Structure 1
Amino acid sequence: MVKYFCSSTDIRSAWDHVVSAFWQRYPNPFSTHVLTEDVVYREVTADHRLLSRRLLMKTNRLPRWAERFFPSGMARSVYIIEDSIVDPVNRSLTTYTCNLNHTTLMSVEERCVFQDSAEQPGTTLLKREAWISSGIYGFSKPIQEFGLARFKSNQVKAMKGLEYAVSNLQGTSASQKSEALMKRGRAALAGSSAVRQIVLC
Structure 2
Amino acid sequence: MVKYFSNNTDIQNAWEHVVSAFWRRYPNPFSTHVLTEDVVYREVTADHKLLSRRLLTKTNRLPRWAEKVFPTHLARSVYIVEDSIVDPLTRSLTTFTWNLNHTTLMAVEERCVFKESALQPATTSVKREAWISSGVYGFSRPIQEFGLARFKSNQTKSMKGLEHALLNGHGEAAQRPLRDPVKEPLGKAKEAAKTLASVPPTSKPQQYI
TM-score range, shorter chain: 0.7 to 0.9
Which residue number in structure 1 is paired with residue 61 of structure 2?
Answer: 61
SS in 2 for 1:109: strand
Distance 1:144 1:125 in 2: 27
Aligned pairs (5 A) from 1:159-170: 159-169=159-169
Cα offset, 1:138, TM superposition? 1.1
- The code of the aligned residue for 1:66 comes to A
Cα offset, 1:168, TM superposition? 1.2
TM-score, structure 1 as length reference: 0.82
- Runs of 4+ in structure 1 deviating by more than 2 angstroms, as ranges, are 68-75
More helix by share: 1
Distance 2:61 2:159 in 1: 20
Determine if contact 2:94/2:112 at 8 Å carries over to the other structure: yes
Cα offset, 1:118, TM superposition? 1.3
Q: Which moved more, 1:71-80 or 1:52-61?
A: 71-80
Deviation string 1:116-168 (CA, Å, 9 cap, x unpaired) is 01110100000000000000011101110110011111100000000000111
Gaps of 5+ in 2: 173-209
Which residue number in structure 2 is paired with residue 51 of structure 1?
Answer: 51
Which residue number in structure 2 is paired with residue 128 of structure 1?
Answer: 128
Which residue number in structure 1 is paired with residue 113 of structure 2?
Answer: 113
Determine if contact 1:109/1:131 at 8 Å carries over to the other structure: yes
Which residue number in structure 1 is paired with residue 23 of structure 2?
Answer: 23
Distance 2:130 2:108 in 1: 7
Q: 1:170 to 1:41 in 2, by over 3 A?
A: closer
Gaps of 5+ in 1: 173-201
SS in 1 for 2:169: helix
Rg comparison, structure with higher value: 1
Determine if contact 2:62/2:74 at 8 Å carries over to the other structure: no
Which residue number in structure 1 is paired with residue 204 of structure 2?
Answer: none
Determine if contact 1:91/1:116 at 8 Å carries over to the other structure: yes
Aligned pairs (5 A) from 1:182-201: none
Distance 2:13 2:73 in 1: 45
Distance 1:138 1:73 in 2: 21
Q: Is residue 79 of structure 1 aligned with residue 79 of structure 2?
A: yes
The number of aligned residues is: 172
